[in-house]
């Protein structure tokens, strides 16, 4: 595309006309854009609003009211106080948090090595790590089930935390690697000249520099682990219950209590929604495993 070289004024007579036209087109475009955005926003956000609404509806008013009713907390009481749902919430917190913790300790150094050192098969190792994330979970879980059965990790926190590494580790390694690459080597060399040893450079200089990105990657990994369904469905049962699997007991049956379904869903998604507010700026980079540096 070459830049225009200034002979656009040759059709001055029609300029006024086209400007009027242009204004009409722009108005139409703005209208269309607003309409489209409005419709899509309704589609994306109304289900969440509806869920919140229903969570406050009593069983008496469930079927004969739409928007106007007397709000009640009875569904919250029923789900949070009279069942073990909150336990599942808490256990999910332990498992997802534990998984992220292990990932940070073992994965961040990997990210550093992949960013800074040149060694044999580096790209191969990096892609292998990424490919774990996209192997069908249901396929991976079959043999893991057998292995866990043999070594007694079935239905334990440790087992689930370990398997969740398949979800959290590739994400953190790939995203954090990009953040390390963004820091110029000179920073490290300067620190080394000041007498820091390499691991001191790593902990005292580099980690503080990438902290925002690292925190964002961890929160996103936490969300993915929190949302995991296949692994806990197959690998846990009575001892460890995660919220995604436990919530399935509220799914369609003839005697379904919709108010409680709403509370169950609302409780299960609250941590992610809060976490997502903190990491917006880093979300694109995280979701694309560092491929898009948005």
| Interactions with another protein, residue window 99-128 (CB under 8 A) | 102, 105-107, 109-110, 112-119, 125
54 touching another protein, by CB under 8 A: yes
- Burial level of 35, CB count in 10 A (0-12/13-18/19+)? exposed
- As a whole number of angstroms, the distance between CA 33 and CA 25 comes to 12
Return the residues of window 247-286 that contact another protein according to CB under 8 A: 247-248, 250-252, 258, 261-262, 264-265, 268-269, 272-273, 275-277, 280, 283-284
- As a whole number of angstroms, the distance between CA 231 and CA 245 comes to 10
- For the bound state, the minimum distance from the C-beta of residue 76 to another protein, rounded and expressed in Å, comes to 16
Binding test (CB under 8 A) with another protein, winner from 21, 23, 36, 77? 36
Token readout for 112 is 């550093």
182 touching another protein, by CB under 8 A: yes
**CB distance 180 to 111 below 8 Å:** yes
- As a whole number of angstroms, the distance between CA 103 and CA 169 comes to 5
47 touching another protein, by CB under 8 A: yes
71 touching another protein, by CB under 8 A: no
Binding test (CB under 8 A) with another protein, winner from 19, 70, 189, 239? 189
37 touching another protein, by CB under 8 A: yes
- For the bound state, the minimum distance from the C-beta of residue 211 to another protein, rounded and expressed in Å, comes to 18
3-state SS, 175-229, equals HHHHHHHHCCHHHHHHHHHCCCCHHHHHHHHHHHHHHHHHHHHHHHHHHHHHHCC
Return the residues of window 203-232 that contact another protein according to CB under 8 A: 223, 226-230
């Amino acid at each position: 595309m070459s830049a225009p070289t200034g002979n656009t004024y040759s059709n001055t007579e029609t300029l006024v006309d086209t400007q009027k036209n242009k204004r009409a087109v722009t108005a139409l475009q703005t209208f269309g854009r607003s309409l489209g955005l409005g419709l899509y926003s309704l589609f994306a956000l109304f289900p969440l609003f509806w869920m919140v609404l229903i969570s406050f509806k009593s069983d008496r008013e469930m079927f004969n009211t739409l928007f106007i009713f007397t709000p009640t907390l009875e569904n919250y009481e029923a789900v949070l106080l009279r069942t073990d749902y909150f336990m599942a919430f808490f256990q999910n917190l332990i498992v997802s948090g534990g998984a992220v913790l292990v990932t940070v300790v073992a994965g961040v150094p990997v990210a550093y090595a992949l960013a800074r050192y040149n060694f044999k098969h580096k790209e191969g190792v990096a892609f292998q790590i990424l490919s774990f994330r996209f192997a069908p979970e249901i396929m991976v879980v079959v043999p893991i089930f057998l292995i866990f059965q043999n070594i007694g990790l079935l239905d334990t926190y440790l087992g689930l935390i370990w398997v969740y590494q398949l979800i959290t580790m590739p994400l953190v390694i790939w995203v954090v690697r990009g953040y390390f690459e963004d820091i110029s080597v000179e920073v490290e060399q300067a620190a080394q000249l000041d007498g820091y040893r390499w691991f001191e450079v790593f902990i005292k200089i580099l980690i503080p520099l990438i902290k925002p990105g690292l925190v964002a990657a961890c929160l996103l990994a936490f969300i993915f682990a929190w949302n995991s369904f296949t692994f806990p469905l197959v690998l846990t049962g009575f001892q460890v219950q995660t919220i995604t699997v436990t919530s399935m007991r509220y799914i369609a049956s003839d005697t379904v209590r919709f108010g409680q379904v709403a509370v169950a869903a609302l409780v299960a998604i609250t941590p992610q929604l809060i976490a997502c507010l903190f990491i917006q700026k880093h979300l694109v980079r995280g979701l694309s495993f560092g491929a898009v540096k948005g």
